[in-house]
């Protein structure tokens, strides 16, 4: 349990580090893509930790809410970085633009998973709700992984 808490603290600290300065100096598409990769990795890790936490029958709801907040912050940063990258779309080739469009759709879908998780947490904490939230977290983690792969595929 201590190790999980330490890992969570480390990930949360890293998230705050990247999240605090997302758009500062993101002038080139390559820098923006690099920050986007970091945010998607952080979102994937936080969502996977949330799913792991929810495997416990007596999951701590305060930790669950912290994980959800962390993933939401990553998702907001991803949206912001995608908007920034979209602003430089004139410099992208057709393949890169297609990857960018697909990445934006994945980010929107990840937000749907996050909104569903928030609604489920607000409804209660039955074992069925925990399992549904866990599945939503796994879906968000998968979308974050796909965002990461698409950014790499853009070749920026």
**Greater confidence, 113 or 72?**
72
**Greater confidence, 103 or 156?**
103
Mean pLDDT of the chain: 79
pLDDT at 6 over 50: no
How large a percentage of the chain has pLDDT more than 90?
31
Stretch 124-140: mean pLDDT = 81
0.85 surpassed by pTM: no
Task: Please tell us whether the domain made up of 2-154 is placed in CATH 1.20.120.
Answer: yes
DSSP 32-93: HHHHHHHHHHHHHHHHHHHHHHHHSTT--HHHHHHHHHHHHHHHHHHHHHHHHHHHTGGGS-
């Amino acid at each position: 349990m201590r190790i999980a808490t330490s890992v969570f603290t480390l990930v949360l600290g890293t998230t705050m580090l990247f999240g605090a300065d997302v758009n500062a100096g993101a002038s080139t598409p390559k820098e923006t893509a690099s920050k986007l990769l970091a945010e998607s990795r952080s979102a994937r890790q936080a969502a996977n930790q949330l799913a792991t936490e929810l495997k416990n029958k007596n999951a701590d709801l305060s930790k669950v809410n912290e994980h959800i907040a962390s993933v939401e912050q990553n998702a907001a940063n991803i949206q912001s970085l995608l908007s920034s990258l979209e602003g430089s779309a004139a410099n992208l080739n057709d393949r890169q633009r297609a990857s960018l469009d697909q990445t934006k759709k994945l980010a929107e879908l990840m937000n749907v998973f996050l909104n569903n998780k928030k609604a489920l947490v607000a409804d209660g904490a039955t074992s069925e709700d925990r399992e549904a939230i866990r599945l939503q977290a796994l879906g968000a983690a998968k979308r974050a992984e796909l965002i990461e792969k698409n950014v790499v595929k853009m070749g920026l």
